[in-house]
Amino acid sequence: MNIILISSATARARTLTLDWRHWAVGSFLLALVFVSFTLVFNYVTLKYAAATQHPWLQAIVLADQRQEAMKTQELVNGHLNAMAVRLGELQAQMMRLDGLGERLAKVAGLKPQELPSLQSGQVPGRGGAESSMPARDLSVAEFSELLAKLSRQVEQRSDQLGVLEALLVQDSANRKFLPTFAPIVDGWYSSNFGDRIDPFSGQQSFHEGVDFPAETGTPIVAAASGKVVAAGYHAQYGKMLEIDHGNGLVSRYAHTSQLLVTEGDLVVRGQRVATVGSTGRSTGPHLHFEVRLNGVPQNPARFLQAAN
């Protein structure tokens, strides 16, 4: 495009040629002016809308504020819903941990009054001096991260307590098959395990069990759960009973007056299996109690003392 300029003073004509570069610069300047005008208009509108109390300007500002508030509220509600779900999961896991703790306490032999926190739900006390560092509020993201971390820790503790419960239950079951329950309630020893003077010959001999003196007919109970493998009369032991507890461990009850179980019966710890007598090689009513491991006599007192 050519623009011709004529001056009346000089009577000369000047020609101005506009190419694409001039048009590009002009367009850029026009756009810059438009953007600047828009920014200035918004700034003035927002700054002086409240001061001028103009209804139209206030409506624009309120509409923008309402839209931003709705977006913020939707975002907060989304976070609250997500945290509520996590909180519900944590509550369920805590109920599981409470039940697991009660079961572990029972297996471990603890009394309820020894663990008051399991029943009352008391929160452990905490405290300390106020920090010298400035405090600040947690953000939603930080709170969500702490909640997720706590959830992972609760899951780990739950798994660990589950393994511990299995081990304690297994240990408790194993203890039930150890002859640690006294076969005579409130009984005492009249003859210990080991070397002694034989009451018949007067010579030194080895006593393979312990003797519980008691009146004839006194109940004899199983020292541990197991299977009756022998129940009958023996020339030395009289009416004798043997219970196999597994893993080569056998308990023997001798000189009884009456057998209350037969061979092949399954008995449980503390069950009445016989009554005290003086059958066989005996000087008076008592129970001769033995514990054998793979046929080798063991000191029964060590097993009975382990229960205390």
Residue 274 counted as domain residue: yes
Residue 107 is assigned to a structural domain of this protein: no
Domain boundary among 35, 53, 71: 53
The tokens for 24 are 């590009």
Q: Does the residue 89 lie in any domain?
A: no
- Kindly list the distances between the CA atom of residue 263 and the CA atoms of 230, 231, 239, in Å, as whole numbers in the listed order: 5, 5, 13
Cβ(253)–Cβ(181) under 8 Å? Answer: no
Task: Identify whether 189 is part of a domain.
Answer: no
End residue of a domain, out of 34, 53, 72: 53
Residue 159 lies in a domain: no
- Percentages helix, strand, coil for the chain, rounded to the nearest 5? 45, 25, 30
CATH number for the domain harbouring residue 226: 2.70.70.10
- Please return the burial class of 160, using the count of CB atoms within 10 Å of its CB with bins 0-12, 13-18 and 19+: exposed
Residue 138 maps to a domain: no
**Last residue in a domain, options 25, 53, 81:** 53
pLDDT at 198: 84
Angstrom distance (rounded) from CA 19 to CA 128: 78
3-state secondary structure of 114: helix
Residue 40 counted as domain residue: yes
Q: What are the beta bridge partners of residue 242?
A: 230, 252
> What are the pLDDT tens digits along the chain (308 aa)?
555 555 565 556 666 566 667 667 778 888 888 888 887 777 666 666 556 565 665 666 566 677 777 777 777 666 666 676 776 677 677 777 777 767 766 666 666 555 555 455 555 566 667 777 777 776 777 777 877 787 777 777 777 676 666 656 556 656 678 898 999 988 888 889 998 888 888 888 899 999 999 999 999 999 999 999 999 999 999 999 999 998 889 999 999 999 999 999 999 999 999 999 999 999 999 999 999 988 999 999 988 875 55
Spatial distance between the Cα atoms of 108 and 103, rounded to a whole number of angstroms: 9
Parent domain of 226: 194-306
> What pLDDT is recorded for position 257?
96
Please give the Cα distance from 38 to 58 (Å, whole number): 18
Q: Which residue type is seen at 65?
A: Q
pTM recorded for the entire structure: 0.51
Q: Crossing angle of helices 55-108/140-176, nearest 10°?
A: 10
Residue 64 lies in a domain: no
Query: What's the total number of domains in the chain?
Result: 2
Residue 243 has a pLDDT of: 96
pLDDT score recorded for residue 141? 75
